[in-house]
């Protein structure tokens, strides 16, 4: 494993701001209590001993003259990263949400490995685990797989099958050097740039192929750069520090699959259309004008059957999905969501954004900040869809009822939407800026109503 942070990992390291921490938050809700010492032993054995970054810290050179590197923490102790707390009575969802909102605003000490685990007692009849890991350690997809190291599945079962139901995108590599040259030249003189700079064009056929890649990715990069800022709505503004956390009740995955098949789409189409409808109703309820809202959607660039890398790291791209908030009617929003998802599935946006993010991680901090602000101005929300275990799992004998994974919001964003399927359930979670969206439960209730409306095969009013 290389000691140097990749440029993509470095980009996430440097995106931290007081109002937006680049920390991935994962919560496991368990049906029975757990012993703290037992949890510590499991985290030590299955995370710390297996994945080196859980015992390594980031060391940056003075003035960032050299890349940041990973180094063993000479004072590593698992007690620095494990926390045991309890909810106040009545220990319900509201109490858990309040605690999580408070914890999510706390920065992670960069002088130590960049993770923490909280065992939260007195949650109903069981407990909850909150895992917080800085994004520079890993992306959400890979980290979700790593977190499954903590759980136990029934003998002989597969927790996540290889053919998971996720939308597939074009994931061929992005030539960073070629793409940036094409960006700088607006795609002009691509063939000569390839000949002069790549050193790989050893044959006329190869030259033509690389030239086409330069033009293709350069054009995509330019289109991303010139994309206008997203519409100004109640969801957009300068975020504060406070966060509110909430989630839906468990929704039936077989029912959502039935709805998707009936309308000729995917599970993802159903849930994203429901989110679009809920955001529409929220704007209407607050007297706001309607506008389609751009969501930033991460997706995996690693092959689905690739083994989990021990050094974790970030290998994902971003696509921009315009949610059809202005479209009236649940069924009509579903159809439009499906069409828009089909448009981006073969897009080069993901590979290009990964390449641009890698280049951004090599730049001085003021430039990096401006690039991040430029791209986040074009969207309103981050939306993640992570497939969870397909069979019931437990941790140290405690069955897990719900899992959610939230991606951080960079720049000036204040809305993160998490979709996670587990067994026969789907849950949608929100983390919102408290100043921008003080009543997120209204959105959660409408997501559930929108899914139910699609299940009746009738469009909803408005």
Per-residue pLDDT of the chain (462 residues; tens, 9 = 90+): 458 888 778 888 888 888 888 899 999 999 999 999 999 999 999 999 999 999 999 998 776 667 789 999 999 999 999 999 999 999 999 999 999 999 999 999 999 999 999 999 999 999 999 999 999 998 887 888 888 889 988 776 666 543 333 343 333 333 444 444 433 433 333 333 223 333 333 344 433 343 444 445 555 555 665 566 778 888 988 888 899 999 999 999 999 999 999 999 999 999 999 999 999 999 999 999 999 988 888 777 676 677 888 888 877 777 788 999 999 999 999 999 999 988 877 665 555 665 556 555 555 666 666 666 666 677 888 888 888 899 999 998 899 999 998 988 876 778 999 999 999 999 999 999 999 999 999 999 999 999 999 998 654 445
* Cα distance between residue 131 and residue 100, in whole Å: 10
pLDDT at 81: 97
What backbone phi and psi angles, to 5 degrees, belong to 448? -65, -40
DSSP 263-326: TT--HHHHHHHHHHHHHHHHHHHTTPPP--EEEEEEEE-S-TTSPPPTT-B--EEEEEEEE-TT
Buried b (16+ CB within 10 A) or exposed e, 1-30: eeeebbbbbbbbbbbbeebbbbbbbbbbbb
3-class DSSP assignment, residue 129:
strand
Residue 170: predicted pLDDT: 36
pTM of the full predicted structure?
0.82
* 358 closest CA partner among 4, 65, 2, 6: 6
List C-alpha distances in Å: 144 to 38, 42, 214. Answer: 21, 16, 34
| Amino acid 130: pLDDT | 97
Q: What structural domains does the chain harbor?
A: 7-150 (3.30.559.10), 229-349+364-386+414-455 (3.30.559.30)
- pLDDT attached to residue 297: 82
Residue 168 is given by DSSP the state -
Residue 274's closest CA among 427, 394, 140? Answer: 427
Give the span between the Cα atoms of 193 and 440, in whole angstroms. Answer: 50
Angstrom distances, CA of residue 239 to CA of 287, 296, 298, 318? 21, 17, 21, 22
Q: Quick one: CA dihedral 26, 29, 35, 38, positive or negative?
A: negative
Helix (H, G, I), strand (E, B) or coil at 404: strand
- Cα torsion angle, 399, 167, 261, 272, sign: positive
The pLDDT of residue 157: 65
β 381-387/415-422 pair status: parallel
- Distance from CA of residue 443 to its chain's centroid? 19
Taking residue 445's Cβ as centre, other Cβ atoms within 10 Å add up to: 15
Beta bridge partners of 121: 86
Residues counted in the chain: 462
pLDDT of residue 368: 65
Evaluate whether 101 touches 83 at the Cβ level (below 8 Å): no
Q: Which residues, 6+ apart, have CB-to-CB distance to 114 below 8 Å?
A: 53, 57, 58, 108, 133, 134, 136, 137
- The Cα 297–Cα 204 span in angstroms is 37
* Alpha-carbon span 341 to 264, nearest angstrom: 13
Look at residue 67 in the predicted model and tell me its pLDDT: 77
Q: For residues 37 and 402, what is the distance between their CA atoms, to the nearest angstrom?
A: 23
């Amino acid at each position: 494993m290389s000691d140097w942070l990749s440029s993509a990992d470095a980009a996430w390291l440097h995106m931290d701001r007081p109002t937006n921490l680049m920390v991935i938050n994962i919560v496991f809700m368990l049906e029975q209590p757990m012993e703290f010492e037992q949890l510590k032993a499991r985290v030590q054995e299955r995370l710390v001993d297996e994945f080196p970054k859980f015992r390594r810290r980031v060391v940056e050179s003075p003035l960032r003259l050299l890349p940041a590197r990973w180094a063993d923490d000479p004072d590593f102790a698992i007690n620095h990263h494990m926390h045991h707390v309890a909810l106040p009575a009545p220990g319900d969802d509201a109490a858990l949400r309040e605690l999580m909102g408070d914890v999510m605003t706390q920065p992670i000490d960069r002088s130590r490995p960049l993770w923490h685990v909280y065992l939260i007692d007195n949650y109903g009849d069981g407990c909850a685990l909150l895992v917080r890991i800085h994004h520079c350690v890993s992306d959400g997809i890979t980290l979700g797989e790593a977190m499954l190291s903590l759980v136990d599945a029934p003998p002989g079962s597969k927790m996540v099958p290889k053919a998971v139901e996720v939308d597939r995108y074009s994931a061929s590599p992005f030539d960073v050097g070629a793409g940036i040259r094409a960006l700088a030249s607006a795609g002009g003189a691509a063939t000569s740039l390839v000949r002069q700079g790549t050193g790989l064009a050893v044959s006329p056929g190869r030259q033509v192929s690389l030239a086409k890649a330069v033009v293709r990715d350069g054009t995509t990069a330019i289109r991303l750069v010139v994309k206008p800022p997203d519409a100004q709505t109640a969801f957009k503004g300068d975020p504060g520090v406070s966060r509110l956390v909430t989630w839906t009740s468990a929704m039936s995955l077989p029912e959502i699959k039935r709805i998707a098949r009936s309308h000729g789409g995917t599970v993802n189409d159903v849930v994203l259309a429901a989110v679009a409808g809920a955001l529409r109703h929220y704007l209407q309820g607050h007297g706001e004008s309607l506008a389609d809202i751009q969501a930033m959607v991460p997706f995996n660039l690693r092959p689905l059957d690739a083994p989990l890398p021990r050094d974790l790291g970030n290998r994902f791209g971003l696509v921009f999905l315009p949610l059809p908030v202005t479209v009236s009617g649940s069924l009509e929003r579903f159809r439009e969501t499906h069409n828009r998802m089909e448009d981006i599935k073969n897009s080069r946006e993901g590979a290009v954004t990964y390449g641009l993010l890698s280049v951004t991680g090599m730049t001085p901090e003021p430039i990096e900040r401006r690039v991040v602000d430029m791209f986040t101005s074009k969207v309103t929300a981050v939306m993640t869809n992570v497939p969870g275990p397909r069979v019931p799992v437990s941790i140290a004998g405690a069955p897990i009822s719900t899992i959610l994974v939230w991606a951080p919001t960079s720049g000036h964003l204040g809305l993160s939407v998490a979709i996670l399927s587990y067994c026969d359930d789907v849950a949608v979670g929100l983390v919102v800026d408290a100043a921008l969206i003080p009543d997120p439960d209204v959105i959660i209730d409408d997501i559930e109503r929108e899914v139910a409306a699609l299940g009746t095969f009738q469009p909803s009013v408005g």
